[in-house]
Chain A
Amino acid sequence: MKNDWPQWEIFVRSEAGLAHKHVGSLHAADERMALESARDLYTRRNEGVSIWVVRSEHVHATDPAQSEEFFEPSEDKAYRHPTFYHVPEGVKHL
């Protein structure tokens, strides 16, 4: 039987209060090994206080070939930004 260890994507929270951020990937037989290897590989210099590991095959991503159509709907909606609006002179706290 072929014993390729599956690939995992690694996310590290650098300090409490910040979001987990993708830092790379690694191979491990199971989630425990993935967590321990991620610690050994990606937090050797106090880079993290928490780690998430996710099997790479469980990540679903947008298709770069369709990025334009996919993200296009937000492009012509400048009114979603506060800078779209004119603030009359003298009006404060707006």
Chain B
Amino acid sequence: MSDGIEGRPEPDDARQQCFESRLDRALKIEPPDWMPDAYRKTLTRQISQHAHSEIVGMLPEGNWITRAPSLHRKLILLAKVQDEAGHGLYLYSAAESLGTPRDELVAALHAGKAKYSSIFNYPTLTWADVGAIGWLVDGAAIINQIPITRCSYGPYARAMVRICKEESFHQRQGFDIMWTLAHGTPPQRAMAQDALDRWWWPSVMMFGPPDAASVHNEQSLRWKIKLFTNDELRQKFIDQTVPQAERLRLTIPDPQLRWNEETQHYEIGPVDWDEFYRVVGGDGPCNRERLSARVDAWNDGAWVRDAAAEHARKRAGSEAA
């Protein structure tokens, strides 16, 4: 798609005004529309990071497909992991509509230049982790993503509508695993508690750094790429998840967690942001493993891509003849 504006030195004022007035009137921006370079760049970064997260997110759970405790659970997990691949593809398409080819986005991931959600750099040690990921990680993702269905960029908003519908299944299947374990034998309960202990804080961190320290918040809010701040979304997650943990009769690993009657919100203890930055910076438990699994998958699949392209070329040739 041609947009005819790349490389223009300075956006002209009329176009800028038109763009801003569309945002003010809550009109969507579509791929061929004029947009400021910074908006295009920010969206490309955000959507491609989001796509990478979906694809890398397949790894910790994919790990358990062959070891699911029953055929029933295996089918469900397989469907969920397939969904994540689909989410990645919807999002790469949305990112491509901004002008960067998918291969370039994937290459940036493989070169370690692009980020993905840090949560996937934690290991899945037991089956209960699959439950905790669905319940907490997908639960957090839904809270993050529902507002994006109303964001200013049309292709991103539309992709997010599909994704949110599917995430809802992911969260429920995760909660269902936790529920089953929580109502099982004492070792099964302990396994569920252990998974909550390990996944709670990384899930709380999924919403990104606190508002005061967030680099992207303000501009993204103005552009309606983001509709709520990190802390607002995080609070929503906490308020909605704590009662669910209570129903599971599991304990959230935060001795300072308390209900504030006045504000009608839960308050949590201090978050270890050093850990967050350490994992974002590449030093989490599984960063290297995740990235090398992606690179291997890409390289191992090269012959399939080549064969398919060659087959298409031959067929096109024989039809033309």
Contacts and interface: CB of A to CB of B under 8 A. Distances in A.
B181 to A, nearest CB: 27
B311 interface: yes
Interface in B278-321: 305-306, 308-312, 315-316
A61 interface: yes
Interface string B159-178: 10010000000000000000
A56 B83 CA distance: 24
A25 B312 contact: no
Given A3-B306, A24-B159, A25-B93, A30 B312 contact: yes
Contacts of B305: 3, 5, 29
A29 B304 CA distance: 11
Contacts, number: 52
Centre residue among B32, B89, B102, B159 by max chain A CB count within 10 A: B89
Centre residue among A30, A40, A63 by max chain B CB count within 10 A: A30
B309 A5 contact: yes
Nearest to B29: A64
A26 B89 CA distance: 7
Nearest to A33: B308
Nearest to A10: B93
A49 interface: no
A56 to B, nearest CB: 8
B266 interface: no
A41 interface: yes
A45 B23 CA distance: 34
B309 A27 contact: no
Given A4-B101, A7-B96, A64-B30, A29 B82 contact: no
Contacts of A41: 86, 89-90
Contacts of B82: 44
Contacts of B310: 3
A64 B315 contact: no
Interface residues of A, number: 20
**SS of B interface (majority):** helix
Interface in A9-59: 24-27, 29-30, 33, 40-41, 44, 56
Contact of A29 (B30, B33, B97, B312): B312
Nearest to A31: B312
A65 interface: yes
Given A29-B312, A33-B308, A24 B90 contact: yes
B194 to A, nearest CB: 33
A25 B96 CA distance: 10
B93 A24 contact: yes
Nearest to B308: A29
Interface string A60-71: 010111000000
A30 B318 CA distance: 14
Centre residue among A1, A27, A29, A40 by max chain B CB count within 10 A: A29
A61 B90 contact: no
B34 A64 contact: yes
Interface string B66-82: 00000000000000001
A64 B89 contact: no
Given A33-B308, A41-B89, A63 B32 contact: yes
A9 to B, nearest CB: 10
B198 interface: no
A29 B32 contact: no
Contacts of B312: 5, 29-30, 33
Contacts of A30: 308, 311-312, 315-316
What 4 A-B pairs come out closest when comparing CB atoms?
A: A3-B309, A29-B308, A30-B312, A29-B312
